A and B are shown apart, each in its own frame.
Chain A
Amino acid sequence: MACGVGIGRRPHVILSNLRCVYQNLSLENWLLQNWNFARSDCLLVYRNKPCVVIGRFQNPWREVNVAEAREKGIDIARRVSGGGTVYHDLGNVNFSFFTDKPSHCPAKNLTFLADTLNQWADLGLKTNKRHDMSIEEAKVTGSASRIIRTGSFHHCTLLVTSSLSSLSSVLQGDPYITTSIATASVPSPVTNLASHSRDVILTPGHVISHVTSSYLARYDVHFPEPELPWKPEQDTAGDVMVVDALPESVDEPEHKTWDWVFGRTPKFTRSFGAGMEVMVDKGVVVEVSDRRLEEVIGTPFDQTTIQQML
């Protein structure tokens, strides 16, 4: 597997001005399905207003306090790549490196980010085999990848000025989920880039600017017009395109549906005490241990409703 920048390939940068996680994830997945990987690579950059993003095969009820997230208007999203649960807000930046399969190399992307940021702001960033980037022992990134027949992306979230403590209670999942085959999150200490910069003022905007310029500079082939899988609304010049609205082909973000966020949850069992439990598959109650709960069979899992019945 080649880990160098492809010869004769050209880069594109797509800057999303969308701030809704469902829209950004839909755009990212749509690019994966429609990008012309034979001709060029792409770097997609996006930021989301406060939300929680779970991995492809995770259990949202186990990772998040769903009721509290709803109350606080914090979106819960499921991405198509794997890994654990992360919190996004406007203080963290998401970079999605699109390449063809042979060029898929998260290690190279992280080294690129570390080198770019270290040269600019002297941060002492280090990368490891698990595709983490850290300052001393605290992580500043979380990485995951998605590979399909025709191409791939490696994406990572970079903590710049994120509110690290504000959502700690929302990230307390349901402790009564007793059996679950979903993939688990591995908690680790995290830190923001901004707290480690001595001379340079780090903001998400500055980071994006530096990283995208540096990304484009790695390639020696550039064309005046980007080749995009959709016709942009306004004229675009060079290799950087700003997205203010989803392309028409992406109608309603599929990532917003209940079916995707909750209905893709692997089988699990939730205990209600005194030996009572319900088994949930694809987000729907399929089995109950007590006759009093029979009427919830076939309905979407809702812990509050069931609790009230007992």
Chain B
Amino acid sequence: AEYGKQWYQRRVREWVNVSGGVGRVGITDHAQAALGDIVYVDLPDVDAEFDVGEEVSSVESVKAVGDVALPVSGIVKAVNDALSDTPTLVNQSAEDGGWICEIELTDTSELDDLMDKAAYDAFLESE
């Protein structure tokens, strides 16, 4: 796939990679490490619409069931079916092959509230 610009939320859990009006969403490597081995990813329905911050997916790891929230508002257009058979793909490749869903952004101005990769890396350094 063509990779566009990658954006990160200030709370360092989710990212969205935007190309045209479509964004691919997943959790950060930082988040997957905190979760531990992932055993199940609950994928959203295609065409479901969510607001920024709303829970789009639940993830079960050996430690807990946690939520994945959308970093920007959007309508689900595709889900990563590979996660059904191989949920550990999120651990192995959280920011690439372990993406969770693709959304059509409903408000691209929300990207202004996110960090880009440079800012995110600096943010992680400072933690």
- B107 vs chain A, min Cβ distance (A): 20
Q: A56-B58, A149-B69, A267-B84 are in contact. Are A181 and B64 (CB under 8 A)?
A: no
Contact of B64 with A183 in the complex, beta carbons under 8 Å: no
B residues 30-71 in Cβ contact with A at 8 Å: 39-40, 42, 53, 58, 60-67, 69
Closest partner residue, chain B, to A181 (CB atom): B84
- A55 vs chain B, min Cβ distance (A): 8
Closest partner residue, chain B, to A184 (CB atom): B39
| Secondary structure of the B contact surface, majority rule | strand
- Whether, in the assembled complex, B85 has its beta carbon less than 8 Å from a beta carbon of chain A, the answer is yes
Complex contacts, A57 vs chain B, CB 8 Å: 39-40, 42, 60, 65
Q: Mark A82-106, 1 if CB is under 8 A from B, else 0.
A: 1000000000000000000000101
- Whether, in the assembled complex, A81 has its beta carbon less than 8 Å from a beta carbon of chain B, the answer is yes
- A306 vs chain B, min Cβ distance (A): 24
Docked pose: A94 CA to B64 CA in angstroms = 17
Contact of A146 with B40 in the complex, beta carbons under 8 Å: no
> When A and B form their complex, what is the total count of cross-chain residue pairs whose Cβ atoms lie within 8 Å?
51
Contact of B40 with A181 in the complex, beta carbons under 8 Å: yes
- A308 vs chain B, min Cβ distance (A): 31
| Residue with the greatest number of chain A CB neighbours at <10 A, chosen from B39, B60, B64 | B64
Complex contacts, B42 vs chain A, CB 8 Å: 57
- B81 vs chain A, min Cβ distance (A): 10
Q: A181-B40, A183-B40, A266-B40 are in contact. Are A145 and B60 (CB under 8 A)?
A: no
- Whether, in the assembled complex, A243 has its beta carbon less than 8 Å from a beta carbon of chain B, the answer is no
Give the residue of A81, A82, A104, A154 whose beta carbon is less than 8 angstroms from that of B39: A82
Closest partner residue, chain B, to A152 (CB atom): B64
Q: A56-B58, A266-B40 are in contact. Are A82 and B65 (CB under 8 A)?
A: yes
- Whether, in the assembled complex, A38 has its beta carbon less than 8 Å from a beta carbon of chain B, the answer is no
Give the residue of B40, B60, B63, B67 whose beta carbon is less than 8 angstroms from that of A148: B67
Docked pose: A154 CA to B64 CA in angstroms = 8
Complex contacts, A154 vs chain B, CB 8 Å: 64
- B33 vs chain A, min Cβ distance (A): 12
Chain A positions within 8 Å of B, measured between CB atoms, are 55-57, 80-82, 104, 106, 130, 144-149, 152, 154, 181-183, 266-267
Chain B positions within 8 Å of A, measured between CB atoms, are 39-40, 42, 53, 58, 60-67, 69, 84-85
Query: Can you pick out 18 interface pairs between chain A and chain B where the beta carbons lie within 8 Å of each other?
Result: A57-B39, A57-B65, A82-B39, A82-B61, A82-B64, A106-B63, A130-B62, A144-B64, A144-B65, A146-B65, A146-B66, A149-B53, A154-B64, A181-B40, A181-B84, A181-B85, A183-B40, A266-B40
With A146-B65, A147-B64 already in contact, 17 other A-B pairs whose C-beta atoms are closer than 8 Å: A56-B40, A80-B65, A82-B39, A82-B40, A82-B64, A82-B65, A106-B63, A145-B63, A145-B64, A147-B65, A148-B67, A149-B69, A181-B84, A181-B85, A183-B40, A266-B84, A267-B84
Pairs A-B, 10 closest by C-beta atoms? A145-B64, A82-B60, A57-B40, A82-B65, A147-B66, A147-B64, A56-B65, A146-B65, A181-B84, A183-B40
